[in-house]
Amino acid sequence: MTPALALMGVFVVWPIVSAVRMSFYRWKGFGPMEDFVGLRNYGRVLGDDVFRDAVAHNFVIVIASVVVQLPLGLAIAMLLNRNIRLRGLLRTVVFVPYVMAEVIAAVIWFQLLQPEYGVVDGLIELVGLTPPEQGFLGTPELALPTLFVVLTWKYLGLAVLLFLAGLQGVPDELYEAAQLDGASWWRTQLRVALPLLGPTIRTWLFLSMIGSLQQFDMVWVLTGGGPANATTTMATYLINQGTQRHNYGIAGAASVVLFLVSFVMALAYQLLILRRDTVVER
């Protein structure tokens, strides 16, 4: 127990305390930290349009994940749960992006999405359409939706995997009973499988929400938060302020805000939604 606590202290508690401390100072990353500025860094972060946009982008990703990835993941999981041909292959295809390192996946997509010379633009031209002039990642209005498509490609596998596992837990007898009652496959899924998937869906929602709030690698490699800050997230904002601009105090404040947002969301989710899964029926 003691080694675990020590590790926890060094790698979790200490960095958190350090970041909080750093957020109250104006500090360039070296020399003594002595220019105490109180809450000024928080004022600057919260008053910065770029940060507010970043928060909005994070929430767009959270909401879009629920709206798009949830039904899509459920549909694919239900299909792959049937005895169809090439089921194993299809499961692998859906799951491979998830196990791929995020940075590598982003580099691949960056190349595919290159304007003019990229495969995606080539395919669009092939069907007679005109790709956007600045490319999907270079057009401010398209960059965030494009990023979300790539994120969906990357993380759909996790949703499908979880939902499939959940579906495996549905007792065959329930399907058989539904069949005997004359229910169609579609109706069986909707009325039997889906309600039983509740806990799995709620767990996925939690993972998806926290992942979306902390999204960094994919954005950093694909767009660096650009163009024109159109894809900046809270994490890219704080890294930009810290390692690029050497405003470590502001980076500290942004990291505390990110931590608080994630913490409050996680806590609320735990209390309001996940609680029902942990309450033991008497």
Name the site residues for other proteins (rule: CB under 8 A). Answer: 14-15, 17-19, 21-22, 26-33, 44, 103-104, 106-107, 110-111, 114-118, 133-135, 137-140, 143, 216-217, 220-221, 223-224, 226-229, 238-240, 242-248, 251-252
CB of 260 to other proteins, least distance (A): 16
CA distances from 6 to 1, 10, 168, 209, 259 (A): 9, 6, 40, 29, 22
Q: Which two tokens stand for residue 6?
A: 């020590």
The distance of closest approach from Cβ of residue 130 to other proteins in the complex, given in angstroms and rounded to an integer, is 11
Query: Would you give the DSSP letter of residue 279?
Result: P
Q: Residue 245 CB, nearest distance to other proteins (Å)?
A: 4
Q: Which two tokens stand for residue 156?
A: 């759909």
Nearest-approach distance from CB 173 to other proteins, in angstroms: 49
Nearer to other proteins by Cβ, of 156 and 222: the residue is 222
- As a whole number of angstroms, the distance between CA 74 and CA 161 comes to 10
Using the minimum distance from each CB to other proteins, give the nearer residue, 104 or 165: 104
Query: Min. distance of Cβ 146 from other proteins in angstroms?
Result: 10
Residue number with CB closer to other proteins (143 or 159): 143
Q: Compute the least distance from the CB of residue 44 to other proteins, in Å.
A: 7
Phi/psi region, residue 224 (left: phi>0; alpha: psi -120 to 50; beta: rest), is left
Residue among 189 and 223 whose Cβ is closer to other proteins:
223
Nearest CA-CA partner of 46 in 23, 25, 29: 23
Contact between 218 and 102 under an 8 Å Cβ cutoff? The reply is yes
Looking at the Cβ atoms of 157 and 249, the one nearer to other proteins is 249
Q: How many CB atoms lie within 10 A of CB 104?
A: 11
Q: Which is nearer to other proteins, 189 or 241 (CB)?
A: 241
Q: Judge contact between 109 and 169, C-beta under 8 A.
A: no
Of 52, 12, 58, 19, nearest to 242 (Cα)? 19
